[in-house]
Amino acid sequence: MPITKFMYIDGKSDTNKETVITKVVDVTSVYYILPDIVLLEFRKLGHSTYGETVLDLRNKNKIILNIDLGIRETVYVLTHELIHLSQMTTGQLALGRNGSIIWDYGYKVDKNRLNNLTYKEYCELPWEADVVKKQHFLLEKLLNF
């Protein structure tokens, strides 16, 4: 099972949330490949941003979560981001040399185009569609844990 590390940019640590998050990471690692260390960074992300998996060669194992989320919302967002982290760990989702995003060793989206997509278009990207399929399964497994 991966080691889960916590970092707080804004706010202070929450041991209850950390306990739940560690369990979510552990259960996820049973079904999906994750890196040896999962780094969770908490910060204020604003009202409409909940989390982000950092697609960066230097931070291959980092997820940023909005510190203002409650435990239930954190679990939902975390499962989404952990699936992205798994996609990155297996090489299915990667960063190209020019900042493009590459899916499944072929489908490529230029970073500039990515920033100009509507929400609907963004949700239709193959790596997002993959998360939607896998997240429901993972949430069911967590409910039965």
Place of tokens 């490529």: 108
26-37: per-residue pLDDT in tens?
Answer: 999 999 999 999
pTM of the shown model? 0.93
CATH of 3-143 among 3.30.70, 1.10.287, 3.40.390, 3.40.50: 3.40.390
Residue 100 corresponds to which amino acid?
S
Residue ranges covered by each domain of the chain? 3-143
Beta-sheet strand order (sheet of 62-66): 3-8, 37-43, 62-66, 51-53
Residues of the chain with confidence (pLDDT) below 70: none
Q: Residue 75 is encoded by which pair of tokens?
A: 């679990």
94-112: per-residue pLDDT in tens?
Answer: 988 888 899 998 888 888 8
- Give the per-residue pLDDT at 125: 94
- Give the per-residue pLDDT at 111: 81
- Give the per-residue pLDDT at 76: 96
